[in-house]
Amino acid sequence: MSRPPNYEFQEWWNKQRSNDQTDDHISASTSEDVRFLTVDIHSPNSAAAVAAAAKDRSRSARQLSWIYLLKLNQIAHSLAFITNGFVSILRTANRRITTASVPRSESRFYKIIKFFLVLSVVLLVVELVAYFRGWHFSPPTLESEVEVSVKYIYAKWLEIRANYLAPMLQSLTNVCIVLFLIQSVDRFVLVIGCFYIKLRGLRPVAETDYYEQDAEKGGMNLDDYPMVLVQIPMCNEREVYQQSIAAVCIQDWPRERMLVQILDDSSDTDVQSLIKAEVVKWQQRGVHIIYRHRLVRTGYKAGNLKSAMNCDYVKNYEFVAIFDADFQPAPDFLKKTIPYFKGKDDLALVQTRWSFVNKDENLLTRLQNINLAFHFEVEQQVNGWFINFFGFNGTAGVWRIKALEDCGGWLDRTTVEDMDIAVRAHLCGWKFIYLNDVKCLCELPESYEAYIKQQHRWHSGPMQLFRLCFVDVLQSKVSFMKKANLIFLFFLLRKLILPFYSFTLFCIILPLTMFLPEAQLPFWVVSYIPGLVSILNILPSPRSFPFIVPYLLFENTMSVTKFNAMISGLFKLGSSYEWIVTKKLGRSSEADLVAIMENESAPLMENGVPRSSSESGLAELSKLEMNKKSFKKRRNRLYRKELGLSFILLTASVRSLLSAQGIHFYFLLFQGITFLVVGLDLIGEQVS
């Protein structure tokens, strides 16, 4: 029998709580917000209090209902967004697959990837059968099984795997881990050197400053300005020829002391006419600029530059500045670079930093910016300061013409003529300077197709050069340390070993260790070391830290292209000597466009007569712009090597799931998805 309620105690308790709430200021001010959390004990006589409590409870219930409805609405919107994005990706992938053209032949590299894919699928089927039959938990032995049974065959496979295959794979794994650690140490030392330069405030010092010098003398003294030749090699650069020519022609340098060479290798006659009209326009504005076109385009860019340097008037010039067609130097570029040559007769090259007008255009350009920021901020700066040598970047640099002639001039024996001439100049005793604070605007490739073609040339060329100049390095008169730096660091470690271990370790060895578990790849090699190296790489561009995971995965994906290019260049295979001009879109920064427009709108005088572009030249230009040829329709495409590797990695991730290997599973899963996204060309510019 239940105890009867004590109404007197309840009335006292309610009165006491009412007095406490009146005295307590904090409780009184927040009573409306937290009333639904309190429990009041009322007597049957306090009907008003009971009604108020019921009203509060109903209000709290309505508020909670609205909160839950709002949360459900947000979740529904998120799910709808994810679903729509996933469906859009599937439709895009289906369209790419159905419209993809079938190549005429398959490369050896792709055939090897197909072999590994078939092998991984077969091994996965075997492991699935063994898993569902319980053989993973109690492996069969040869002694206890009949020779013709499936269980005996699986036991035999386990014996072959453990005694023959796994030891070989483990040896290769250990070699790659050692190479990985050596390369990581090299990266760490470079970063330490960069921090040292930053903390000490070290930078090259020029002997003179043209701005201070002109201010003291009350104007330009032509004798203080050396003769400078400016070269712009280009080939079918319809989108960028105007901005590059204009940026060079408005240089703050005496016109009597500068000559601009437009070295046009275009095969398109319309583009040739457009560039000629642009040159005529600037000639009529008083700029010393000439147009050169080769009838026989041999040697690509190197042949173009070599032909231009053979002109008789070149002997009148002391320095040559080189800009690719998409580069837009600032008006003070020459005034910031030429002074470093004064008083340094052994200085051959002044290299400046690249800056990108489209680095935030898409995910692909953001990831490229991370790599190139590290290259210029760390590699070029550290090598330039401590050993006065680095690879010439092919553009945005000024050469002493005497140094070019001393080392044999431009050669077209490789696809990296810039690195070739830098190595030969270094072996002849010349020194280089890198200016990190002088930047030259340019474009990054926005499509994956253009990017991999550029990377193939950049990674096959160094191996061609290494094969050709190895003996020359050994026989040169430079010190032993310089020879060791060239052979072991410049070529082997950073040009050969890096793409080799990246592809072999993460695209071949890691999936195979899932099917050959007796050979193990430590988890710190998969997670910790790549993560630390990625952090080091991203330090020069701190705004890119949110992209550190995509950067790590994408770099492993690019190892396929780099490894293929490295092998091609080293052994002269396939298209190692193929030169394809990187596609540009003609993007310019707003500030540069304003500066160029202001310069063009300024009235230029010669003998008191205003000069302007000729009517015939403008008419020709307008006619050609209106009658441009229809270009070949661009479209996104499929990349079979990346797709094949994505299926290998995803197959291995399923096998790692059976073994409950967490870190390996997630790495293989996300890396396989990254390969799939890249293989479907879903990164970079999307052509509708």
Establish how many alpha carbons lie within 13 A of residue 29's alpha carbon, considering only the half-sphere containing its beta carbon.
3
Rounded distance, CA 599 to CA 287, Å? 12
pLDDT of residue 143: 66
- By CB neighbour count within 10 A (0-12 exposed, 13-18 middle, 19+ buried), where does 158 fall? middle
Q: Any idea what the Cα angle at residue 252 is, between residues 247 and 254, rounded to 5°? A: 120
**What count of residues does the chain have?**
688
Q: Any idea what the Cα angle at residue 263 is, between residues 260 and 228, rounded to 5°? A: 25
pLDDT of residue 138: 76
Residue 288 C-alpha from the chain's centroid = 37
Measured from the Cβ of residue 576, the count of other Cβ atoms closer than 10 Å reads 23
Residue 133 tokens, joined: 């039959």
SS3 content of the chain, % helix, strand, coil (to 5): 65, 10, 30
β strands within 423-517, DSSP E? 431-442
Q: Are 40 and 54 in contact (CB under 8 A)?
A: no
3-state secondary structure labels for all residues of 250-318? CCCCCHHHEEEEEEECCCCHHHHHHHHHHHHHHHCCCCCEEEEECCCCCCHHHHHHHHHHCCHHHHHCC
Residue 439 tokens, joined: 């930047």
Q: What is the pTM of this model?
A: 0.82
Rounded distance, CA 96 to CA 212, Å? 60
Going from the first residue of the chain to its last (688 residues), give the mean pLDDT of each consecutive group of 10, the final group possibly shorter: 54 62 48 44 52 59 78 87 78 71 76 94 91 80 67 87 94 95 96 96 92 82 92 92 95 95 94 95 96 89 94 96 96 96 95 95 95 97 95 96 96 94 96 97 93 93 95 94 95 94 94 92 91 94 94 95 93 77 67 51 40 42 46 73 95 88 89 94 79
Q: Are 438 and 333 in contact (CB under 8 A)?
A: yes
User: Residues with catalytic annotation?
Assistant: 265, 418
pLDDT of residue 679: 93
Rounded distance, CA 588 to CA 208, Å? 31
pLDDT of residue 595: 53
pLDDT of residue 26: 44
> Which amino acid, residue 92?
T
pLDDT of residue 135: 81
- What digits encode the pLDDT tens for the residues 645-666? 999 999 999 999 888 777 899 9
